[in-house]
Amino acid sequence: MATIWPMVREHMVEAQTAQARVYNRGAQPREFTPGDKVLVLVPTSECKFLAKWNGPYEVIEKVGTVNYRVRQPRRRPPTKVSRINLLKKWVAREVLFSITPPQVAVKTEPVKVPMGEQLTPSQRQDLQNLVNRNRDVFSAEAGHTDLIQHRIVTEPGKRVKLRPYRIPEARREAIAAEEDRGHCPQCELNNMEPVEKFLSTLRDTLQQINAYGCREQP
C-alpha cells in the first residue's frame, strides 16, 4: 500500500487536471462591478425544478470571491446574494430602424341617408357631399351622444323597479311604422328641434315612470 498509494494520488491529480481543462475549455471568466445590470436565474413558480432568467437587476456590491449582492425591486427580499454562475450580463437591445407597413388605401362607400323628396337634384348633391365630409357624424346606424345628460333622483334607500308589460294593441301599428321610417310618427315631434324633441321624450318618460309607480317591489 505504501508503494501504490503515491501512484494512485499522482494519477488522480492528473485525471482532475484533465477534467478541469476540458470543463474550462468553454467557460469564460465573468466579473461584475456595482451598477451593472444582470439577469438572475431563479426557479419558476410552476415547478421548482425549472428555472428562467429574470431581470434586469442592479449589482450592489461584491460579496466574497464568487458572490454578488443584487437589488431586486418588486420582490421579497429586495436584495439577494447570488452566486456568479446564476448571473449573466444584461445587454439592452438597440433599435436601429423601424419598418412602417405600407398603408393600403381603403375604398369607402358613400353614406346613404334618407332625403326629402322635395329637394332638388343640386340640393341632394350638396347634402350628400356634406354627409360624405362628415362620416363620423352622419351614419345610417343609431349612435349616442354625451352632449346632453340627465339625472333621475329617486327616494333614498328604495329601488326603482318596473315590471315588464306588453305593448298595447293600439300602439303596435304606430311603433312598427316608427321602426320602418326610422323617425317618430307624430307630426308635432317631427317639427321640433333635436333638443326640444329630446326634452319632450324625457318628459314623457318621467310621466310614464310616475304613472306606473316608482316603488320597491315586495
Segment 105-127 mean pLDDT? 76
| Predicted local confidence at residue 185, as pLDDT | 44
pLDDT confidence tier of residue 188, bands split at 50, 70 and 90: very low
Give the model's pLDDT for residue 107: 64
Same domain for 156 and 214? yes
Within this chain, do residues 121 and 171 fall inside the same structural domain, yes or no?
no
Residue 61 has pLDDT above 70, yes or no: yes
Average pLDDT, the chain: 76
Answer yes or no: do 189 and 133 share one domain: no
Residue 129, in any domain of the structure? yes
What does the pLDDT look like over 126-181, one tens digit per residue?
Answer: 888 887 877 766 665 666 667 777 777 777 777 767 777 777 888 888 877 776 66
Q: Please indicate, yes or no, if residue 99 is contained in any of the structural domains.
A: no
Give me the pLDDT at residue 150, please.
Answer: 73
The residue range of the domain holding 179 is: 150-218
Is 201 found in the same domain as 154?
yes
Read off the pLDDT of residues 164-177 as tens digits, 9 standing for 90 and up: 777 788 888 887 77
Identify whether the C-beta of residue 87 lies closer than 8 Å to the C-beta of residue 70. yes
Same domain for 45 and 85? yes
Query: Does the pLDDT value for residue 189 go beyond 60?
Result: no
Assess if residue 77 is contained within a domain.
yes
Chain mean position to CA 115: 41
In the chain, how many domains are there? 3
pLDDT average, residue stretch 59-74? 90
Spell out the long-range contacts of 155-163 with Cβ–Cβ below 8 A and sequence spacing 24 or more. Answer: 155/214, 158/215, 158/216, 159/216, 159/217, 160/209, 160/214, 161/216, 161/217, 162/209, 162/212, 162/214, 163/217
Whether residue 90 is predicted with pLDDT greater than 60 in this model: the reply is yes
Q: Look at residue 193 and tell me if it is in a domain.
A: yes
Q: Domain check: are 214 and 166 in the same one? A: yes
Tell me: do 154 and 130 sit in the same domain.
no
What is the average per-residue pLDDT within 182-208? 57
Q: Is residue 3 part of a domain?
A: no
